[in-house]
């Protein structure tokens, strides 16, 4: 047996080689035995790195196996809560009168079989639970709470403070005057303390304040609580509820916040302010009532993330999708199913989305059924089951989505700081690691991000920056720092990320003017004049181009490393027998500047800090350059950071076919009648470097051009990737100008298009000013176009369709990147 002593902290590996001997090998000895390539691999991963082609084949096999396992899971999941087990809690609003009705057992049976939680639909609204002052009627609510406890279901209490469902005796206090204000405040406090106290330990979650904002984001003027008590009523309500039951989870619940809007941003500022005051709020509820044909779901996951980054849980609390012109058609029911699935996927993509609650589960007892409000006339059938308890396509879609969608890991155990820097706040950058290292920002937030739909921090090279209140990472142990950056100027040394010591920064990651390189530096001591150890990138940064940097300190080896765009660039010290030095720092972490005043001129996004030395594979993963990634394995969901889900125009259902790995729903089937859009806002800056890639399979070559991908421009399409019928070649075209009548400058493959699966990758290199076209990872064409024109700020990307041409075949693994991929990176896609 060999015992190898290595890494930080030193630990042993026992290797059984069929011998009874034990040998201890020191880290220095081990370094000298390995050749340089093996050593670099061992430093990062503990074993030689796998061949990229082997890794790709293994990934394909894994994706195929996972797809088959997901399909099997969907088939085996008999109930919603089974499909959701370990992922998210599933609930519904329920009615006590029906739950207790022995003549209608199907209602209670569905709740037992399918749900993890129940919400009181009306039984805990003020007019139901305190119809007369001081007279509390808990009977109906007790029916639900008792049922929940008897069947191991969580109970959500809805709602303590709302502008509606108030008894007349409460409304009588809706008059001006200080005496009346004090009386109303006391009434509200007593109501909350009494009701929450009555159910302490039995109601797990409360919707404390419901719908405090108007549609334009202002405080609701038709709320007597807002008119008579002012802004303080919200914070006080949470404090009183918490004091009555410290163990309950407390939510603010709101509608119309499923997409970026004035209302969503106002709620964000409201909640952020409550958190800053120490108000005991645990989560934000997204009601998610939807109208078929006008769904607001494409931005749901992104808005949820904004609140989750404040350290809050989020939940879908009142999901339904009402249909116009009932009775519904089969097509409408299919569209409704897609909407339910989209909402579920949005929740599952956000680690802190903890529950999905529908607002009723059968059309027989939906709030839309026989609703007397004229604005709901003709609308209905909003739930998962019809009025006879028959499961609708919406139920089946929700079940399948829960069973087949995997959740991202909540928080990397070694992630100690994560700042997206796309915050809606102008003064605070939230920490998405869950460790609450929020950074105070001086200028810069809300600037142009890596994509047109994102935002970032922008430093002015002088006064801007962000800083935490305390240290984030122990700098006398292994750590990793990564960030996306775009340099605007090379006029001075600049700092992207640093952490303060007492006298000097314990480390800096930034730009060095003298050598024109990215630089990771560590002083040997916390003193002015101490020598500085540095490791530099191999090549010079490109002004105006986004790059990903990863800086690694491996304390076990005493070595610094720097990666650019996921690729190893350099190591210090280079000699394996030497060690670098470091020391402990206890100062704040800074973004966009250092304690010496060096600031960054340019944009910064997605800064992360880990308390371990990242491997080569991890560094490559941090630098994932995709800004859109559609796996198309039964879903149009975007698996990238940016969550730009696709949709079929007119809310039709997508058609799926056998993919490259022979999985049943492994690819998107596109024909003349399909219109697949990536909607929202502008997807790419096409006047800058970008790459688009797709796996394609023609049904037949045909006599007409067939569009694979296009991006809307300001006259013509900003680019086209297509099958060209005139010579049966693949082609990548850019408009000769931005004019509507512009012709396209096309480059074409040397190979003739076939009807087998092929990977096409088109690259526009904004530095060399040349387009490139790769077929199965091989460069087959480069062209004469010297300009790529901007895409439309309000346009979309379209899959398999344009205004004049369609694709007939299958598409798989569509990806877009806001930079020019290297030949090696393109090869890895093929």
Average pLDDT (318-322) is 98
End of a domain among 404, 437, 456? 404
Question: Residue 664 — very low, low, confident or very high, per pLDDT cuts 50/70/90?
Answer: low
Average pLDDT (180-200) is 98
Distances (CA, A) of 396 to 29, 83, 342, 368, 414: 60, 11, 13, 21, 38
Q: Are residues 580 and 652 in the same domain?
A: no
- Lowest mean pLDDT, pick from 45-49, 590-594, 657-661, 683-687: 45-49
HSE (CB half, 13 Å, CA atoms) of 273?
11
Q: Which of 263, 323, 317 has its CA nearest to residue 288?
A: 317
- Lowest mean pLDDT, pick from 63-67, 90-94, 270-274, 288-292: 63-67
Question: Residue 665 — very low, low, confident or very high, per pLDDT cuts 50/70/90?
Answer: low
Average pLDDT (509-521) is 98
- Lowest mean pLDDT, pick from 48-52, 396-400, 456-460: 48-52
Give me the chain's average pLDDT, please.
87
Residue 533: per-residue pLDDT: 96
Is there a domain that residue 191 lies in?
no
Is there a domain that residue 493 lies in?
yes
Tokens encoding 669: 């089937």
Could you list the residue range(s) of the whole structural domain that residue 24 is in? 2-33
Average pLDDT (646-674) is 76
End of a domain among 351, 376, 404? 404
Q: Are residues 778 and 666 in the same domain?
A: yes
Residue 463: per-residue pLDDT: 94
- Lowest mean pLDDT, pick from 1-5, 368-372, 463-467, 657-661: 1-5
Q: Are residues 358 and 419 in the same domain?
A: no
Q: Are residues 649 and 687 in the same domain?
A: yes
pLDDT at 69 over 70: no
Is there a domain that residue 46 lies in?
no
Q: Are residues 468 and 341 in the same domain?
A: no
Q: Are residues 396 and 466 in the same domain?
A: no
493 neighbors 487 (Cβ within 8 angstroms)? no
Q: Locate the DSSP E strands across 687-769.
A: 690-698, 706-711, 719-724, 729-735, 744-752, 758-765
What does the alpha-carbon distance between residue 444 and residue 419 come to, in Å, rounded to a whole number? Answer: 14
pLDDT at 30 over 70: no
153 neighbors 113 (Cβ within 8 angstroms)? no
Is there a domain that residue 165 lies in?
no
Q: Which tens digit of pLDDT belongs to each residue from 132-159? A: 999 999 999 999 999 999 999 999 999 9
Antiparallel, parallel or unpaired: β 797-799 and 706-711: antiparallel
Average pLDDT (527-547) is 95
What does the alpha-carbon distance between residue 559 and residue 628 come to, in Å, rounded to a whole number? Answer: 35
Average pLDDT (295-299) is 81
Known catalytic residue at 318 = yes
Average pLDDT (647-661) is 76
Residue 637: per-residue pLDDT: 76
Q: Are residues 448 and 384 in the same domain?
A: no
Q: Which tens digit of pLDDT belongs to each residue from 702-759? A: 779 999 999 999 888 999 999 999 999 999 999 988 777 778 999 999 999 999 999 9
Q: Are residues 570 and 438 in the same domain?
A: yes
pTM: 0.68
Domain count, the chain: 4
pLDDT at 624 over 50: yes
Residue 233: per-residue pLDDT: 98
Question: What percent of the chain stands above pLDDT 90?
Answer: 68
209 neighbors 160 (Cβ within 8 angstroms)? yes
Is there a domain that residue 53 lies in?
no
What does the alpha-carbon distance between residue 714 and residue 739 come to, in Å, rounded to a whole number? Answer: 8
Q: Which of 9, 24, 34, 3 has its CA nearest to residue 554?
A: 9
End of a domain among 621, 645, 675? 621
pLDDT at 88 over 60: yes
Q: Are residues 470 and 570 in the same domain?
A: yes
Residue 543: per-residue pLDDT: 94
Q: Which tens digit of pLDDT belongs to each residue from 216-232? A: 999 999 999 999 999 99
CATH code for the domain in which residue 743 is found: 2.60.120.200
Q: Which tens digit of pLDDT belongs to each residue from 403-453? A: 988 876 655 668 999 999 988 878 899 998 888 899 999 988 889 888 887
pLDDT at 769 over 80: yes
> In angstroms, what is the C-alpha Rg of the chain?
29
Q: Are residues 310 and 388 in the same domain?
A: yes
Is there a domain that residue 179 lies in?
no
What does the alpha-carbon distance between residue 418 and residue 435 come to, in Å, rounded to a whole number? Answer: 9
pLDDT at 653 over 80: no
What does the alpha-carbon distance between residue 212 and residue 217 come to, in Å, rounded to a whole number? Answer: 9
Q: Are residues 518 and 554 in the same domain?
A: yes
Question: Residue 299 — very low, low, confident or very high, per pLDDT cuts 50/70/90?
Answer: confident
553 neighbors 584 (Cβ within 8 angstroms)? no
Q: Which tens digit of pLDDT belongs to each residue from 334-344? A: 999 999 999 99
What does the alpha-carbon distance between residue 159 and residue 211 come to, in Å, rounded to a whole number? Answer: 10
Q: Which of 123, 130, 318, 467 is catalytic?
A: 318
Q: Are residues 590 and 469 in the same domain?
A: yes
Q: What residues form DSSP beta bridges with 706?
A: 723
Is there a domain that residue 190 lies in?
no
Residue 663: per-residue pLDDT: 61
What does the alpha-carbon distance between residue 643 and residue 269 come to, in Å, rounded to a whole number? Answer: 23
Is there a domain that residue 126 lies in?
no
Residue 366: per-residue pLDDT: 97
Residue 662: per-residue pLDDT: 60
pLDDT at 810 over 60: yes
- Lowest mean pLDDT, pick from 33-42, 208-217, 244-253: 33-42
């Amino acid at each position: 047996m060999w015992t190898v002593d290595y890494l930080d902290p030193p630990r042993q590996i026992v290797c059984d080689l069929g011998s009874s001997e034990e040998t201890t090998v020191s880290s220095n000895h081990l370094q000298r035995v390995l050749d340089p390539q093996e050593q670099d691999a061992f430093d990062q991963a503990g074993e030689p790195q796998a061949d990229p082609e082997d890794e790709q084949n293994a990934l394909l096999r894994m994706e195929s196996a996972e797809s088959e396992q997901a399909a099997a899971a969907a088939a085996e999941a008999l109930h919603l809560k089974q499909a959701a087990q370990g992922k998210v809690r599933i609930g519904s609003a329920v009615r006590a009168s029906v739950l207790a009705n022995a003549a209608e057992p199907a209602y209670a049976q569905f709740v037992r079989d399918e749900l993890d939680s129940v919400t009181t639909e009306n039984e805990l609204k003020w007019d139901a639970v305190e119809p007369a002052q001081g007279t509390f009627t808990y009977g109906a609510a007790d029916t639900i709470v008792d049922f929940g406890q008897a069947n191991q279901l969580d109970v959500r209490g809805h709602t303590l403070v709302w502008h509606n469902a108030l008894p007349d005796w409460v409304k009588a206090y809706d008059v001006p005057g200080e005496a009346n204000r004090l009386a109303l405040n006391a009434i509200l406090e007593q109501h909350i303390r009494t009701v929450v106290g009555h159910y302490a330990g039995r109601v797990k979650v409360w919707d404390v304040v419901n719908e405090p904002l108007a549609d334009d984001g202002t405080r609701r003027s038709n709320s007597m609580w807002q008119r008579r008590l002012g802004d303080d009523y919200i914070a006080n309500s949470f404090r009183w509820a918490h004091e009555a039951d410290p163990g309950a989870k407390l939510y603010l619940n709101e509608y119309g916040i499923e997409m970026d809007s004035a209302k969503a941003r106002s709620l964000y500022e409201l909640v952020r302010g409550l958190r800053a005051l120490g108000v005991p709020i645990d989560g934000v509820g997204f009601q998610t009532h939807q109208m078929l044909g006008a769904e607001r779901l494409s931005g749901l996951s992104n808005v949820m993330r904004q609140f989750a980054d404040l350290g809050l849980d989020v939940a879908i609390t009142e999901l339904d999708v009402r249909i116009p012109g009932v009775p519904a058609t089969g097509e409408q029911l299919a569209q409704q199913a897609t909407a339910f699935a989209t909402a579920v996927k949005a929740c599952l993509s956000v680690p802190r989305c903890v529950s999905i609650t529908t607002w009723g589960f059968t059309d027989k007892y939906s709030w839309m059924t026989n609703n007397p409000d004229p604005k709901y006339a003709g609308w209905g059938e909003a739930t998962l089951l019809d009025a006879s308890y028959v499961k609708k396509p919406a139920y089946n879609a929700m079940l399948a989505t829960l069973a087949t969608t995997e959740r991202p890991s909540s928080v990397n155990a070694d992630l100690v700081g994560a700042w997206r820097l796309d915050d809606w706040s102008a003064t605070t950058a939230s920490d998405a690691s869950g460790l609450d290292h929020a950074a105070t920002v001086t200028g810069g937030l809300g600037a142009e991000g890596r994509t047109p739909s994102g935002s970032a921090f922008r430093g002015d090279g002088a006064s801007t920056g962000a800083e935490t209140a305390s240290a984030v990472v122990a700098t006398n142990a292994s750590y990793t720092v990564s960030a996306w950056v775009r340099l605007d100027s090379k006029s001075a040394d600049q700092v992207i990320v640093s952490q303060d010591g007492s006298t000097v920064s314990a480390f800096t990651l930034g730009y060095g003017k003298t050598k024109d390189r990215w630089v990771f530096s560590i002083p040997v001591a916390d003193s002015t004049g101490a020598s500085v150890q540095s490791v530099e990138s191999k090549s010079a940064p490109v002004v105006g181009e986004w790059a990903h940097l990863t800086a690694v300190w491996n304390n076990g080896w005493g070595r610094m490393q720097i990666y650019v765009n996921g690729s190893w660039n350099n190591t210090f010290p280079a000699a394996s027998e030497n060690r670098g030095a470091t020391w402990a720092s206890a100062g704040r972490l800074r973004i966009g500047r250092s304690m010496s005043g060096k600031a960054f001129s340019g944009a910064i996004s997605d800064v992360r800090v880990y308390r371990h030395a990242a491997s080569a594979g991890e560094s490559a993963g941090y630098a994932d350059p995709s800004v859109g990634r559609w796996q198309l394995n039964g879903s149009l969901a975007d698996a990238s950071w940016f969550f730009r889900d696709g949709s079929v125009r007119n809310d039709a259902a997508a058609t799926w076919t056998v993919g490259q790995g022979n999985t049943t729903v492994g690819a998107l089937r596109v024909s003349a009648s399909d219109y697949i859009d990536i909607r929202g806002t502008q997807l790419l800056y096409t006047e800058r470097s970008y790459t688009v890639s797709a796996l394609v399979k023609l049904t037949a070559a045909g006599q007409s051009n067939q569009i694979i991908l296009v991006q809307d421009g300001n006259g013509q399409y900003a680019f086209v990737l297509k099958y060209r019928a005139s010579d049966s070649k693949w082609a990548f075209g850019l408009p000769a100008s931005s004019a509507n009548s512009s012709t396209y400058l096309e480059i074409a493959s040397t190979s003739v298009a076939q009807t087998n699966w092929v990977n096409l990758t088109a690259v526009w290199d904004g530095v060399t000013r040349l387009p490139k076209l790769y077929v199965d990872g091989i460069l087959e064409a480069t062209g004469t176009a010297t300009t790529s024109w901007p895409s439309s700020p309000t346009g979309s990307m379209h899959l398999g369709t344009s205004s004049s041409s369609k694709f007939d075949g299958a598409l798989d693994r569509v990806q877009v990147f806001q930079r020019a991929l290297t030949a090696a990176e393109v090869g890895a896609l093929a």
